[in-house]
Amino acid sequence: MTPSDLDQALNTLRNQIAGGPSIVPAVARRIADGEPSQNPVNMSAPLLRRTADNHRQQQRRRLMRITISSAIAACLLAIAGLLWLTRSDRTASAAEALQQTLSTTQGYRGWVRIKVEMQLDGVTSLYDITMNTENGQMGVVSRIGNGWRMLHWYDPSTGMCDLYSDVDEHVLHGEASGVPLTLRFARLFAPMTQSSALELLGYLMSAEHLEVKQTPEAGLVRFDVSSPPNPNSTRIVPLHAELWVDPKSDRVVKLQWNYQKDVTGDTSVSISYGVEPITSIFDLGVPKRAIVVTTKMTPEARELVTKLTHLMQATPKNYVGMVARVNAQTPGDRSLVIWGRAGDSWFVRRYPLPPQWPQAEEVIRALAGKPSNVEFGDAQWAGEGTWNAATNDYRVEKVPARPMGTYNPYERNITHAMYVMERDLLDYGPETTFSVVEDASHPGFKGLVLKTLDTPNSRNTTCTWWLDPKQEFAPAEMVWASDQWPALPPDSGPRAAGIATRPASWRHASRIIVYHQFGKLKDGTPYPTSWTDSGTDYQAQILEDKKLDDAWFKP
Amino acid sequence: VTADGELVSLAMAGDAMAFGQLVGRHERSLRAVAFYVIRDIHLAEDVVQDSFVAAYGQLAGLRNPSAFGAWMVQIVRRQAQAAIGHRIHTVPLDQASEVPAIGTSLDVDSERLLAAMMSLSEDERLVLMLRHFDGHEVTAIARMTSAHVGTVTKRLSRAHAHLRERLKECRL
């Protein structure tokens, strides 16, 4: 064998048994997560001496370099100090400085790791998010209480998602309806703006009596944000939040806050920038021995899902619609919800239902200027309905405008109420399998069956949509059933207790929606005008190109 | 290139990046070691990952930080032996068709080469694997192992010669 042959053979062997991606990210993550329990700094005395000797040698070698560079560093420090002073003079307030910092943070592009620890009512939830704010790739490791660890990997470029849990060491690989949203989530730096955390900070930032204090702390800049409690508010908001900013990058590196009212506990977030990229779910710590199970749709199922999704999103750019709801079994359980959309602006308002089934034009005339009890809108405001359990009273608490980028955009459309856009129906992930069936009791119809596999945090459900090929595949019936709650770890603590107290009717639930009549939009897309959802009757109307006064789109 | 011993010292002082460098420079050699014991590529990777995590907690027990590579080989071998007892995992019947095949076999030539490599002396095997599996230059290997370039070159040359001899014996 020639040296060249040997070199080639070694190269082949290397590719066969030692190729593939590096394990450095996985090892780094495990160590950062506290593995192993024994810390390396727990050293014996001789080793400590050797380490100290090593460090002394390294310091001697570096001394010359440090001496030379220290003069430059001193100059830089002086310049930085001047800049800081200049900036302080220029900055009108600590609040404005914080706004600028939040904007800089949100503008960062690259790999970011965000670790969130939430303690609420004695239960600790951990979320470890590593995301690329450029392309939306995102890995999430989560654990609620002592429950199973869940790992997600989202890749917007393929629309695929991987899901792993410690329950059975399976990686589920399949489509997920929410994957495209991760790109938007990442670009908005969503944990900084959208999670309950800083969305509420945004609320505080716009509050009338907000106080922002800025002080140096251990090489960082600390911002204390506080707002006096609002005795009339029924919303849960933090009264105090602290942020620490790296003055070199002007980006937030850590924040924490605590809640008011009857929710106890703190939340803390740490953010690292320019972290090791993640390329697959295995980089998040999934063992390579894990079994990969694909749940990708068949072409036939994909076609039906596409058609159904189209129906659920198909609303005109400009319209006014209403859905009236009557629950005959519960007196007083009647409501009327009005949707309005004019280009990018939209609103949803809910009112008591008049005694008779209303006509849209009459309702609009009658309700103009009247207060609603729940309202939402985009572009200008986002109201939020609250419910007082003691008085059974719904009312609106106005919330200043805030980004709504990661909210499901379908929820802004009236079709959300018609097709009940919920996770169990067509908000699917890799834990969902799809199949197409036919049944003699539904002659001429196509059945699209969505079934969720075991996952730690969801019920096992089966949902069947019976679609009518003669009506643009509009659904004639939807049957949903939940059969059981999957296994929980033995020491799940409060979470297990909470689940155990759920009524059997929750764990073994079913829901049947029968669509009676359909109308058509101008482009021929059908939409339901009458349906029954598990005993509650609904009627709907859509007025295309109907434009309401601007007042309807404002709080 | 920083010497392994220096990186070990930095890691013990709490520098996780230094330990990351150690992982990166030795991981592929160690995958081969683990594979030789356990005969499963994916399990081998898990074993190496577990070994590095375990090693991080045991750095205090490493008497000669310069010998990090050889020390890791011992840890990986132990972990691989232990993992053999846990390698069986079951697959639900209805999902069996979805489970991808796990490649555990090598062709005859690669099997022979791997066996010959594992029969080399510790010093020769270490430089051979750092060169061919982890892709380091001779000068870098010398810095890592705190040895002279000449020593590394000789060891590498001897390792090649021994490999060729043993492969020739196999063919006879």
CA B17 to chain A, closest CA, distance in angstroms equals: 8
Which of A24, A41, A51 is facing B23, going by the closest CB pair? Answer: A24
Residues of B in contact with A55 (CB under 8 A): 9, 13
CA B3 to chain A, closest CA, distance in angstroms equals: 11
Residues of B in contact with A6 (CB under 8 A): 160, 163-164, 167
Cα distance between residue B160 and residue B168, in whole Å = 12
Residues of B in contact with A289 (CB under 8 A): 40, 42-43, 46, 87, 89
Closest residue on chain A to B164 (Cα): A1
Residues of A in contact with B28 (CB under 8 A): 14, 18
Cα distance between residue B136 and residue A532, in whole Å = 70
pLDDT digits (tens, 9 = 90+) for B107-151: 777 778 888 888 888 888 888 988 888 888 888 888 888 888 888
A233 touches B: beta carbon within 8 Å: no
Beta carbons within 10 angstroms of residue B126's beta carbon:
25
A171, A285 Cβ separation under 8 angstroms: no
Closest residue on chain B to A51 (Cα): B9
Residue ranges of A 42-61 with Cβ closer than 8 A to chain B: 42-44, 47, 50-51, 54-55, 58
Beta carbons within 10 angstroms of residue B130's beta carbon:
24
Residue ranges of B 6-25 with Cβ closer than 8 A to chain A: 6, 9, 11-14, 16, 19-20, 23-24
Quote the ipTM score. 0.84
Q: What is the model's pLDDT at position A393?
A: 53
B138 touches A: beta carbon within 8 Å: no
Rounded to a whole number of angstroms, the distance between the first and last alpha carbons of chain B is: 42
Mark yes or no for CB contact A40/B57 under 8 Å: yes
Q: Please name every residue paired with A518 in a beta bridge, in sequence order, or none if there are none.
A: A528
For residue A445, give both structure tokens.
């119809």
Which of B35, B52, B65 is facing A27, going by the closest CB pair? Answer: B52
B90 touches A: beta carbon within 8 Å: no
A33 touches B: beta carbon within 8 Å: no
Q: What is the model's pLDDT at position A81?
A: 25
Q: What is the model's pLDDT at position A496?
A: 46
Phi, psi of A123 (to 5 degrees): -110, 130
Residue ranges of A 280-319 with Cβ closer than 8 A to chain B: 287-289, 291-294
Residues of B in contact with A291 (CB under 8 A): 89, 91, 95, 99
Cα distance between residue A424 and residue A431, in whole Å = 11
Residues of A in contact with B53 (CB under 8 A): 27, 30-31, 35-36
Rounded to a whole number of angstroms, the distance between the first and last alpha carbons of chain A is: 83
Using a 10 angstrom Cβ sphere, with 0-12 exposed, 13-18 middle and 19 or more buried, the burial of residue A549 is: exposed
Mark yes or no for CB contact B53/A20 under 8 Å: no
Closest residue on chain B to A4 (Cα): B160
Cα distance between residue B64 and residue B71, in whole Å = 9
Q: What is the model's pLDDT at position A262?
A: 44
Q: Which residue has the tokens 């595949």?
A: A473
pLDDT digits (tens, 9 = 90+) for A255-303: 887 655 444 457 788 899 999 899 999 999 888 888 888 888 888 998 9
Q: What is the model's pLDDT at position B135?
A: 84
pLDDT digits (tens, 9 = 90+) for B43-96: 788 889 889 988 888 887 787 888 888 889 888 988 887 777 554 444 444 443
**Could you report the average pLDDT of every consecutive run of 10 residues in chain A (555 residues)?**
81 80 78 60 34 35 25 26 30 71 84 83 79 90 75 90 82 84 68 45 52 89 77 57 90 76 64 91 88 87 88 84 83 80 81 73 77 60 51 53 45 78 65 90 92 64 89 90 56 46 56 90 92 88 87 77
Strand, coil or helix: A13: helix
- The number of helices, as runs of H, and strands, as runs of E, in chain A is 13, 25
Task: Enumerate domains of chain A plus CATH numbers.
Answer: 94-294 (2.50.20), 299-553 (2.50.20)
Cα distance between residue B1 and residue B137, in whole Å = 10
Residues of A in contact with B100 (CB under 8 A): 292
- For the entire predicted model, the pTM comes to 0.57
CA A373 from chain centre, in angstroms, equals: 26
CA B46 to chain A, closest CA, distance in angstroms equals: 6
Cα distance between residue A544 and residue B83, in whole Å = 66
A40 touches B: beta carbon within 8 Å: yes
A477, A516 Cβ separation under 8 angstroms: no
Instruction: Quote the Cα angle for A105-A110-A112, to 5°.
Output: 65
Q: What is the model's pLDDT at position A188?
A: 65
DSSP secondary structure string, A387-402?
EETTTTEEEEE-----
Which of A28, A58, A288 is facing B46, going by the closest CB pair? Answer: A288
Using a 10 angstrom Cβ sphere, with 0-12 exposed, 13-18 middle and 19 or more buried, the burial of residue A545 is: exposed
Strand, coil or helix: A132: strand
DSSP secondary structure string, A324-382?
EEEETTSTT-EEEEEEEEETTEEEEEEEEPPSSPPPHHHHHHHHTTPPPSEEEESSS--
Strand, coil or helix: B149: helix
Angle between helices A3-18 and B149-171 (to 10 degrees): 90
pLDDT at residue B25 tops 60? yes
Residue ranges of A 312-331 with Cβ closer than 8 A to chain B: none
Which of B56, B60, B91 is facing A44, going by the closest CB pair? Answer: B60
Q: What is the model's pLDDT at position A555?
A: 66
Mark yes or no for CB contact B100/A41 under 8 Å: no
A430, A155 Cβ separation under 8 angstroms: no
Which of B19, B24, B42 is facing A289, going by the closest CB pair? Answer: B42
Is the Cα torsion angle A302, A307, A311, A316 positive or negative in sign? positive
DSSP secondary structure string, A288-329?
TTPEEEE-PPPHHHHHHHHHHHHHHH---SEEEEEEEEEETT
Mean pLDDT over all residues of chain B?
A: 79
Cα distance between residue A259 and residue A247, in whole Å = 28
Size of interface A-B (CB pairs under 8 A): 147
Residues of B in contact with A11 (CB under 8 A): 132
Interface test with B, best of A22, A59, A281, A289 (most B CBs within 10 A): A289
Q: Which residue has the tokens 């459900």?
A: A461
The single-letter code of the amino acid at A401 is A
The set of residues, in sequence order, having a beta carbon less than 8 Å from that of A66 and lying 6+ positions away, is none
